[in-house]
Amino acid sequence: MIKPISISELLDYTKKIVKSDYILRKVRVKGEIAEIATAQSGHLYFTLKDDSARLSCVMFRDDLVDNVTQQVGMEVAIDGYVDIYSPSGRLQLIAKTMEPTGQGALYKLFLELKDLLEKEGLFDMDKKRPLPEKPLTVGMVTSTAGAAQHDFLSVAAARNPAVSVIISPSRVQGEDAGKELARAFERLDARDDIDLIIITRGGGSMEDLFCFNDENLIRAIDKRRHPVVSAVGHEVDTTLCDFVADVRAATPTHGAEIIIPQGKDILEEAKAQLLSMENGLGHRLRDYAQAQQSLYFRLKHAISLESVAHKMELAKELKRRMVRQMEKVLEEEGREGEYLLKRIYKVPLQRRALEERALIEDGRLRINKALLNGFNRERERLELLKLRIKSVGESKRSPRVVKDGRGIQSIHDVEVGDNLSIALIDGTVDVSVKGIMRYRDEL
């Protein structure tokens, strides 16, 4: 009976066999890059494939060449050696050099379709649309079974739970998945209750992601009614969706961070707008008070001395009425402000900010209108008062008596039978002297 050995012993033995094999110590392998990722350490991890097999590979940071760009779909020739990675028991090729030898079939098809659509103008920058700053409803095209949906919804809920997400499900890999994605996108794009659309799935090989290069999908996105964000694969993955979309996100999580604003930022903005409105109202009230005070002093100097006391009382009354009106407006707006703040904390943040902004604007217009109407009424009363004062002052002036073109003031300047003209406020009167009377004596 064979004595059992541990897994570590088996792998150590296998590694010794692999290292002692002359062919495996120095091999040259040709294949197409199917997956690729760069670790934080700087090492490059990728998968080579041919028509029937795949091989895990790693190229350490010190062996990478800066002027060689590695991409999914490239055909490469690699010099290196075979090893076994004990923690996972995986056979892998340790690459020392890498040389491009051609383009893989899928990558070649990708480039041909990209060149065709680019010449038609589908990727032109002048077609790009800005994303809405505060979306209320987001449409999402993805698989309901994938991690991309969970990642996006988790980040969206954490950033702003008031934003709604409508999912149009679709397969995200496999035969005819591209056409299914196009139909799912068109269903969302036909709706009027969404603000933008995100197309997303997690990472994968070039074959897995190739449905996002489907011509039907790309042309559907080109005819979009709403802004579109593409968040397909990982940062190193590139699809034609990325070129035709308005914005490209590196991952589904990054897509949520781009689209969904922080709820606390919206609330702070609403509070800042309320404070600005309060400050603006205070400045306006002070301006009206100064204008009223200025009118008061102008009126005070225009009144004759014998009516000063009476007119001052009128001015004080006008001032009291103006102050009462301003206090009433402030009290009403204060109650409305408290009501708005209470509503801010009860309603979802995004909708609350929009509704409160509309209420604030309506309140500001009503305040301006009320203050302007009150100010105009008081100004009209003041102007009427000034006209009355002017009329009283002019009526108290002595009539002017003219004899032979010369003004006279004494009875000694006239004789019985003289013709005189008396100048009044609104005209002259011609008279003839019938008699002259001295105070207490008649001549």
Provide the pLDDT for residue 270: 60
Q: What angle do CA 74, 112, 104 make, to 5 degrees?
A: 20
Which H/E stretch holds residue 92?
strand 90-103
- What mean pLDDT do residues 169-184 have? 93
- What mean pLDDT do residues 390-395 have? 53
Provide the pLDDT for residue 177: 92
Q: What is the mean pLDDT of the chain?
A: 82
Question: What is the value of pTM for the model shown?
Answer: 0.48
pLDDT grade for 331, boundaries at 50, 70 and 90: confident
Rounded-to-integer distance, Cα 63 and Cα 46, Å: 14
Indicate if the pLDDT at residue 199 is higher than 60: yes
Give the range among 203-217, 291-305, 399-413 with minimum mean pLDDT.
291-305
* CB contact at 8 A, 198 and 255: yes
Rounded-to-integer distance, Cα 182 and Cα 190, Å: 12
Provide the pLDDT for residue 165: 94
Which H/E stretch holds residue 26?
none
Rounded-to-integer distance, Cα 340 and Cα 270, Å: 10
Residue 167: partners with Cβ closer than 8 Å, 6 or more residues away = 139, 140, 141, 142, 144, 149
- What mean pLDDT do residues 407-414 have? 83
Indicate if the pLDDT at residue 303 is higher than 60: no
- CA distances 61 to 35, 40, 64, 92, Å, are 18, 10, 5, 16
pLDDT grade for 308, boundaries at 50, 70 and 90: low
Residue 378: partners with Cβ closer than 8 Å, 6 or more residues away = 292, 318, 321, 322
Which H/E stretch holds residue 116?
helix 105-119
Indicate if the pLDDT at residue 344 is higher than 60: no
* CB contact at 8 A, 220 and 182: yes
322-331: long-range pairs with CB below 8 Å, 24+: 322/288, 322/289, 322/292, 322/374, 322/375, 322/378, 325/370, 325/374, 326/285, 326/288, 326/289, 326/371, 329/367, 329/370, 329/371, 330/281, 330/285
pLDDT grade for 188, boundaries at 50, 70 and 90: very high
Per-residue pLDDT reduced to its tens digit, 97-128: 988 776 667 778 888 899 999 999 999 999 99
pLDDT grade for 204, boundaries at 50, 70 and 90: confident
Q: Are strands 419-423 and 400-403 parallel, antiparallel or unpaired?
A: antiparallel
- What mean pLDDT do residues 78-91 have? 91
Tokens of 134: 């505060």
Provide the pLDDT for residue 231: 93
Give the range among 192-201, 202-211, 322-331, 332-341 with minimum mean pLDDT.
332-341
pLDDT grade for 378, boundaries at 50, 70 and 90: confident
* CB contact at 8 A, 286 and 373: no
pLDDT grade for 93, boundaries at 50, 70 and 90: very high
Provide the pLDDT for residue 342: 64
Indicate if the pLDDT at residue 94 is higher than 90: yes
Which H/E stretch holds residue 213?
none
- Beta strand extents in 136-192 (DSSP E only): 137-142, 164-169
- What mean pLDDT do residues 72-100 have? 89
Nearest by Cα to 356 from 268, 261, 285:
268
Provide the pLDDT for residue 442: 40
Provide the pLDDT for residue 403: 84
Nearest by Cα to 196 from 240, 258, 143, 266:
258
Provide the pLDDT for residue 443: 37
Indicate if the pLDDT at residue 391 is higher than 70: no
Residue 31: partners with Cβ closer than 8 Å, 6 or more residues away = 48, 49, 50, 55, 75, 76, 78
Give the range among 209-213, 224-228, 273-277 with minimum mean pLDDT.
273-277
Provide the pLDDT for residue 139: 95
Residue 389 or 100, more confident: 100
Provide the pLDDT for residue 441: 45
Provide the pLDDT for residue 213: 93
Rounded-to-integer distance, Cα 241 and Cα 246, Å: 10
Indicate if the pLDDT at residue 380 is higher than 80: no
Straight-line distance from the first to the last Cα atom of the chain, in angstroms, rounded to the nearest whole number? 170
Tokens of 246: 């308005």
Indicate if the pLDDT at residue 229 is higher than 90: yes
Indicate if the pLDDT at residue 77 is higher than 70: yes
Provide the pLDDT for residue 22: 84
Provide the pLDDT for residue 103: 62
Provide the pLDDT for residue 345: 59
Indicate if the pLDDT at residue 201 is higher than 90: yes
Share of the chain above pLDDT 90, in %: 32
Rounded-to-integer distance, Cα 299 and Cα 308, Å: 10
Say which residue the tokens 């060149």 belong to.
115
Provide the pLDDT for residue 121: 94
Rounded-to-integer distance, Cα 316 and Cα 307, Å: 14
Helix (H, G, I), strand (E, B) or coil at 181: helix
pLDDT grade for 299, boundaries at 50, 70 and 90: low
Residue 437 or 97, more confident: 97
